Amino acid sequence: MKLFNIKQTFIIGLFSILLPFYSMADEKTPQHGGTLVVHYSGEQRVLNPALRASTGVYEVSGKVVESLVDLDADSQVVPVLATSWTSSADGKTITFKLREGVKWHDGKPFTSQDVKYNALEFWKKRLNFSTALQLNLTSVDTPDDYTVVFNYSRPMPLDLLLRALVDLGYVVPKHLYEGTDVLNNPYNTAPVGTGPFKFIEYQRGQHIIVERNPDYWRKGYPYLDKIIWRIIDDNSSASAALESGQIDLSSYSKLSLADINRFKQNAKFEVLTKGSQANIFNNTLEFNFRNPIIANLNVRKAIVQSLDIPFFTDDFLYGFGKPATGIIPSSNAFYPKDSKIIYPFDREKAEQLLDEAGYQRKTDGIRFNLKLVHINNGEDVPLFATFIQQSLAEVGINVVIVNLDTAGALNAVYKAHDFDIATGWHQYRGDPAVSTTVWLRSGSPDGAPWTNQYGWKSETVDQLIDNAATEIDPVKRKALYVQLVDIVNRELPLWFATEREFISVVSTKVHNHHNTARWPSSSWFDVWIEH
């Protein structure tokens, strides 16, 4: 494929001399109007981000409903509906100033009453991941229409709260929810918010449409007239739709990696991981300690050391990913500097460890059998399961893959505990205290997915997790997490094999995209399209 002809190259050269301080994207003046068509897959039962926390919900309702805060390009917390925040010295009282003059899509004013209602009825009671975060929230005061005060019974680290509120701080209108059956409220699938776009319709299995909100509080925004999400579940069909110009954008790695890799060579598209830094995910390996073989640390080490992860990321994942060095992603503020992989790929060492553990190869060359359940978040999960099967066969461990659909797999691992090893994705949510540490904290009841259901318990780790969640000094907090990462890396209660970023493929017609750390979920108020 020819990328540039000579004339274009000349013009680009000229521009780069004339405008040395501007990047290509900024040269064009934004155009108002136009429709952005976006790839979407799966059905959402609910489009209310104050009720259900998931990227699938934010992708759409993040344009309609706004959160108190958001992230900028450098993953720093920036104001949205909240304009400033302070914490008391003991960390138990946190005060937010709210933006004035903001209106709901139905014309009613946005006030501190709305935030209070959301905090108590949604964030503390119903929103997944948030109810644990807001466990110690005792009351919310509203001294005036634009001030909210959160009172906690134990210290709440401000940095933790802010980072969490990016995802877990969406506000829906109190006047449409109060006094109704919240779970059956019709606005759950037809959201009303303060965002740059108004919800128009959700045609199940087909599309979701939102339209420009002319009264948006950021004057002059948004640029787009309309956003349409087209629901295409089959990812090769989605690639075809992208190529034929039916859709302009696909984010959160919803295309097959092979197709994404192919789009790199297509001048009409950009392939980026930028703009999704806040949503790092990992290919995981969970162990079931109820099996005495697995409970043996040497066996776990051997399993980990049999897996050539660089080979996997390079040759199976087209280089989209790298080996992880622990449970906190390397781009995050809590990442322990100079983290290293303690148990690198070493097949001989693995064999030796297994021999030492007392599991010699039998006459058929097999040491023991393991049942592997994979929880299918993406196409690479079955692939990684296959890779584990192949790699462990080399050291004499026979792995049988149990192929279940997601509901079945979750049930097998987290309720029936019917597995020896499991693999899936872990998604990092900006702060270890949100979602990551529940994978390690003991005491979670059966049936709660992606929590510690592995039959592993460590007093030290539980203590560390609890202390870090209420430590208001950021430096001390980080130190606690450094300790946690180190223990997990050595003890291997679970193991993160890779560290990966979500990938977006976007048409070059689209501008001002991927300019924040969680762009696909953000409000897209400044996105524009050539038309």
Partner 1 sequence: MLHILTLAFRRLLTTIPALVIILIALFLLLQLAPGDTVDALLAQIGGAESSVIDEMRHHYELDQSTSSRLINYLWRLVHLDLGQSAIYNKPVSHMILERLPATLLLMGCAMLLAFTFGTILGILSAQKVNRWPDTLISILGLIFYSTPSFWLALMGIVVFSIYLNWLPPSGFGSIGESLTGMAAIVDIAWYLILPTTTLALVYLAIYLRIMRASLLEVSTLDFVKTAKAKGLSRRKILVNHILRNAMLPMITLIGLQAGTMLGGSVVIETIFAIPGLGRLAYDSVVQRDLNTLLGVVFVSAILVIIINFIVDMLYAKLDPRITGH
Partner 2 sequence: MAILKDYFRSPIARVGTILLLLIIFIALTADWFFPGNPLRLAGRPLQWPFVNPKFILGTDQAGRNIAAQLFHGAKVSLIIGLVSTLIAIIIGVVIGAISGFYSGWIDDILMRLTEAFQILPNFLLLLVGVAVFGSTINIVIIAIGVVSWPPVARLTRAEFLSLRNREFVQAGKTIGMSSTRLMFKEILPNALPPVIMYASVILSTAILMESALAFLNLSDPNISSWGNLVGNGRLVLRQQWYVSAIPGIAILLTVLSASLVGQGINDALNPRLKKR
Residues that bind partner 2 (CB under 8 A): 235-236, 239, 256-259, 261-262, 315-316, 376, 379, 382-383, 385-387, 389-391, 393-394, 400-405, 408
Binding partner of 390, given partner 1, partner 2, none, CB within 5-8 angstroms per partner class: partner 2
Structure tokens at 330: 């390397």
Residue 204 touching partner 1 (CB under 8 A): yes
Residue 372 touching partner 1 (CB under 8 A): no
CB nearer partner 2, residue 188 or residue 239: 239
CB nearer partner 2, residue 128 or residue 403: 403
Contact 323, 313 (CB under 8 A): yes
Structure tokens at 471: 């430590």
Q: Is 186 helix (H, G, I), strand (E, B) or coil?
A: helix
CB nearer partner 1, residue 231 or residue 293: 231
Structure tokens at 338: 């100079």
Binding partner of 23, given partner 1, partner 2, none, CB within 5-8 angstroms per partner class: none
CB of 427 to partner 1, least distance (A): 6
Q: Measuring CA to CA, how many Å separate 334 from each of 155, 477, 478, 479, 483? A: 19, 9, 6, 9, 11
Would you give the binding string for partner 1 spanning residues 397-436, x where CB under 8 A is met?
-------xxxxxxxxx--xx----------x-------x-
Cis peptide, bond prior to residue 222, ω within 30 of zero: yes
The set of residues, in sequence order, having a beta carbon less than 8 Å from that of 408 and lying 6+ positions away, is none
CB nearer partner 2, residue 409 or residue 465: 409
Residue with tokens 């897209």: 524
Calpha distance 105→416 (Å, rounded)? 45
Residue with tokens 């980990």: 304
Residue 322 touching partner 1 (CB under 8 A): no
Residue 330 touching partner 1 (CB under 8 A): no
CB nearer partner 2, residue 165 or residue 257: 257
Binding partner of 411, given partner 1, partner 2, none, CB within 5-8 angstroms per partner class: partner 1
DSSP classification of residue 335: P
Structure tokens at 114: 């709305």
Residue 179 touching partner 1 (CB under 8 A): no
Three state DSSP letters for 48-61: CCCCCCCHHHHHHH
Calpha distance 137→449 (Å, rounded)? 24
- What angle, 0 to 180 degrees and rounded to 10, lies between the N-to-C axes of helices 347-356 and 297-305? 160
Burial pattern 451-462, b for ≥16 Cβ within 10 A else e, equals bbbbebebeebb
Listed as own residue / partner, the contacts of 459-467 with beta carbons closer than 8 Å and 24 or more positions apart are 460/487, 461/487, 461/488, 461/493, 465/433, 465/437, 465/440, 465/441, 466/441
CB nearer partner 1, residue 145 or residue 418: 418
Structure tokens at 213: 């909100």
CB nearer partner 1, residue 46 or residue 482: 46
Residue 203 touching partner 1 (CB under 8 A): yes
Residue 205 touching partner 1 (CB under 8 A): yes
CB nearer partner 1, residue 45 or residue 268: 45
CB nearer partner 1, residue 45 or residue 175: 45
Binding partner of 463, given partner 1, partner 2, none, CB within 5-8 angstroms per partner class: none
CB of 131 to partner 1, least distance (A): 5
Size of the residue set binding partner 1 (CB under 8 A): 66
CB nearer partner 2, residue 228 or residue 241: 241
CB of 453 to partner 2, least distance (A): 20
Cα of 221 vs its chain's centroid, Å: 27
Only segment of 64-72, 88-96, 197-205, 289-297 that touches partner 1 (CB under 8 A): 197-205
Binding partner of 262, given partner 1, partner 2, none, CB within 5-8 angstroms per partner class: partner 2
Binding partner of 226, given partner 2, partner 1, none, CB within 5-8 angstroms per partner class: partner 1
Q: Measuring CA to CA, how many Å separate 306 from each of 276, 384, 422? A: 31, 13, 16
Residues at the site binding partner 1, with contacts judged by CB under 8 A: 35, 37, 42-46, 52-57, 126-129, 131-132, 183-184, 188-189, 203-207, 209, 226, 228, 230-234, 236-238, 240-241, 243-244, 246, 375, 404-412, 415-416, 427, 435, 438, 444-445, 447-451
